[in-house]
């Protein structure tokens, strides 16, 4: 098989997922998670494990 038969990759296909992830992008995601957690925490939902989604969102924000 010759090189002529191979499909050329677009520039976006050549860039890896790791190369497309930027510190600013991660910060924006973290801020979005934190904001939603803060809004849910203010709602003061009562029930068994109602605070679990709020904690999970805060944990993800911290992790990012």
**Paired tokens of 52:** 């679990």
How far apart are alpha carbons 34 and 52 in whole angstroms?
14
Whether pTM > 0.95 for this model: the answer is: no
Task: Give CA–CA dist 55/34, Å, rounded.
Answer: 10
Share above pLDDT 70 across residues of the chain, in percent, rounded to a whole number: 86
- Residue 6 pLDDT grade (very low, low, confident, very high; cuts 50, 70, 90): low
Greatest pairwise CA separation for the chain in angstroms: 66
């Amino acid at each position: 098989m010759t090189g002529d038969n191979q499909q050329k990759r677009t520039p976006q296909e050549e860039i890896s997922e790791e190369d497309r992830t930027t510190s600013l992008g991660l910060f924006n995601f973290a801020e979005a998670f934190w904001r939603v957690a803060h809004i849910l925490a203010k709602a003061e939902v009562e029930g068994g494990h109602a605070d679990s989604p709020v904690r999970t969102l805060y944990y993800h924000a911290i992790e990012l």
